[in-house]
Amino acid sequence: MVHAVTLAHQAFIEAQAHASSGASRGSVTDLAALLDAICAEMSSQREAIVSIAHQESTLPIEPRLQGEFDRTINQLKHFAEAIREGSWVQATIDHALPDRKPVPRPDLRSMLVPIGPVGVFDAGNFPLAFGAAGNDVASALAAGNPVIVKSHPNHPRTNVLVGECIARALQSAGVSPHWYTVLPDTSPDTSEQLVMHPSIAAIGFTGSRHIGRKLIDLAATRATPIPVFAEMGSLNPLVILSGALEESWQAIASDLSKSILLGHGQFCTRPGVVLIPKDHPNARRFIDTLASTLAAGKPQSMLSDATCHSYQKAADALIARNDLTIHVRPTFPGARGSSALLAETTAGAFLREGDEILRDEIFGPACLVVTFDSLDEAIDVLQAVSGTLTVSLHAGSADMPNVARLLPVAQGLAGRVVFGGYPTGVEVTHAMVHGGPYPAGHPGGVTSIGSAAIARFSRPVCVQNCPSQLLPLALQDSNPLHILRKIDGRWRTIEDKPQRA
């Protein structure tokens, strides 16, 4: 392991030296071409990859794993497009002011540059889209960094196969074979060595709060602390206001149950807490319908024995309480089988101090309905929830003043606020934010999905009075990459692009 990181670091140093001496210094074509080559190699192995991911995860091939494969390719293409578009490097030029008094101002130019080898802990619940060629890997590669993957034990063989595709892609793109490694070992010792290796510049992690915090704390003990970009647990509260319960309780109960059961509840964006007005005439109907829909869901195999065991343990803890009503009691047939859980409690019970169990994420097809007496109480419940990936707000036509009150609360808590929808189904777009305040995201100011994820694995460097022949392409006066730049405080796009013939 240590050796793989050392080799990756050497390859990085050599690539930096080459980029600054070559004719096309800082060319981005190579990086985009590498991501394209990964897409091509993976697509040629599509059947084998999907098949082994199915064997390891037991997730259905259709539509889940075929869809996840497509999404993985789309993510890689999205990042390749962002590299070619080029604005992510934040190229900024302040020209010299030779006549300024009392002293001239030098020429200053800055851009984002790669940071070095990135360690990625892939997610146990997405063998492909957050796996060995998933979002963290793709964005770290897109920024120009080597990547070392520590496989989740749920799908090591899938990762090896994807890693072989990437190895061929490196070769065809003319990149060092040490630029990317899937570590053969999935033990906690390997995790620790990866985080502590002095040549590792950053970590990407998707998984549980427990493990994520361990890695964050470990990285903080390094002589040189490094960032751990972690996406951890999330409650994804969904608030249904009176008007929505009035106008569309049936549709919400139906769509919400689908969102809870999607991927058998093993999604980081699964709605875990649903807030409804206690005394609304439709409240009982809504709960009964949600309960019957969830109860009708067949038991499914979970991702691993460990996941199934944790879900059962969390469910047992809820069932044992006397301040909850259990509407749907889960069953646990077979080795990894489980079914849905629906519980109900009051805002008062949820807010009880020192009682964190109701506010912890349950990973699986579980949902807790929390009934509130007033909007103030609903706000209190939201504010008692830790940072979350999403908050969803369902409102009827008369609810708009209440939505206006909830919006700043939701925004303070979440990376994404969904209006009239459900949090599962994360789009890969420029505006997506998949992150949020701790523990949903860490550090809070980042997203792990969408083109903005690239900048996590970079840092700004400024060159002062740099000779023109040493400037990277992104900072050369003629703007050979045709990218958006901030020049003397003004954004330049069209005006400094050469006219196309």
Q: Please, which of residues 17-46 interact with a second copy by CB under 8 A? A: 17, 19-21
Region of 27 (left: φ > 0; alpha: ψ -120 to 50; beta: rest) is beta
Closer CB to a second copy, residue 13 or residue 296? 13
Region of 216 (left: φ > 0; alpha: ψ -120 to 50; beta: rest) is alpha
Residue numbers 102-121 binding a second copy by CB under 8 A: 103, 105-106, 108-110, 113, 115-116
Angle at which helix 66-85 crosses helix 135-142, to 10 degrees, equals 20
Locate tokens 């940072």: which residue? 387
Closer CB to a second copy, residue 30 or residue 185? 30
CA distance 301 to 305: 9
CA angle 446, 207, 112 (to 5 degrees): 30
Alpha-carbon separation of residue 216 from 105, 151, 212, 259 (angstroms): 41, 18, 6, 30
Q: Give the DSSP per-residue string, 259-303.
A: HHHGGGG-STT---EEEEETT-TTHHHHHHHHHHHHHHSPPEE-S
Q: Count other Cβ atoms within 10 Å, centred on residue 73.
A: 19
Among 217, 355, 373, 376, binds a second copy (CB under 8 A): 217
Residue numbers 255-284 binding a second copy by CB under 8 A: none
Residue numbers 165-204 binding a second copy by CB under 8 A: 201
Among 420, 477, 478, 480, binds a second copy (CB under 8 A): 420
**Is 354 a binder of a second copy (CB under 8 A)?**
no
Per CB under 8 A, which region of 177-185, 299-307, 310-318, 486-494 contacts a second copy?
486-494
Per CB under 8 A, which region of 237-245, 309-317, 346-354, 412-420 contacts a second copy?
412-420
Q: How far is the CB of 400 from a second copy (least distance, A)?
A: 7
Checking DSSP bridges between strand 202-206 and strand 180-182, what pairing results, if any? unpaired
Closer CB to a second copy, residue 22 or residue 281? 22
Question: What are the residues whose beta carbons fall under 8 Å from the beta carbon of 400, sequence distance 6 or more?
Answer: none
Q: Which residues are catalytic?
A: 231, 268
Residue numbers 370-399 binding a second copy by CB under 8 A: 386-387
**Is 81 a binder of a second copy (CB under 8 A)?**
yes
Helix extents (H) in 302-415: 305-319, 347-351, 375-384, 400-413
Phi, psi of 274 (to 5 degrees): -120, 120
Per CB under 8 A, which region of 90-98, 149-157, 238-246, 258-266 contacts a second copy?
90-98
Q: How far is the CB of 367 from a second copy (least distance, A)?
A: 20
- Based on its alpha-carbon atoms, the radius of gyration of the chain, rounded to whole angstroms, reads 25
Q: How far is the CB of 174 from a second copy (least distance, A)?
A: 19
First CA to last CA across the chain, in angstroms? 52
The answer to whether the CB of 371 falls within 8 A of the CB of 280 is: no
**Is 400 a binder of a second copy (CB under 8 A)?**
yes
Closer CB to a second copy, residue 272 or residue 439? 439
Closer CB to a second copy, residue 184 or residue 420? 420
Q: How far is the CB of 395 from a second copy (least distance, A)?
A: 8
**Is 285 a binder of a second copy (CB under 8 A)?**
no
Locate tokens 């996941």: which residue? 307
Closer CB to a second copy, residue 2 or residue 220? 220
**Is 60 a binder of a second copy (CB under 8 A)?**
no
State both tokens at 366.
């579980």
State both tokens at 115.
């940071």
Q: How far is the CB of 460 from a second copy (least distance, A)?
A: 5
Per CB under 8 A, which region of 178-186, 245-253, 320-328, 490-498 contacts a second copy?
490-498
Cis link prior to 443 (omega < 30° from 0)?
yes
- DSSP character for 410? H
Q: How many residues bind a second copy (CB under 8 A)?
A: 85
Closer CB to a second copy, residue 148 or residue 409? 409
Residue numbers 219-248 binding a second copy by CB under 8 A: 220, 224-225, 227
The answer to whether the CB of 237 falls within 8 A of the CB of 275 is: yes
Residue numbers 434-473 binding a second copy by CB under 8 A: 435, 437-439, 442-447, 452, 455-456, 458-467, 469-470
Among 407, 476, 482, 496, binds a second copy (CB under 8 A): 407
State both tokens at 339.
């079914």
Question: What are the residues whose beta carbons fall under 8 Å from the beta carbon of 489, sequence distance 6 or more?
Answer: 94
CA distance 108 to 95: 6
Closer CB to a second copy, residue 52 or residue 138? 138
Closer CB to a second copy, residue 211 or residue 326? 211
Phi, psi of 237 (to 5 degrees): -65, 145
Phi, psi of 325 (to 5 degrees): -105, 125
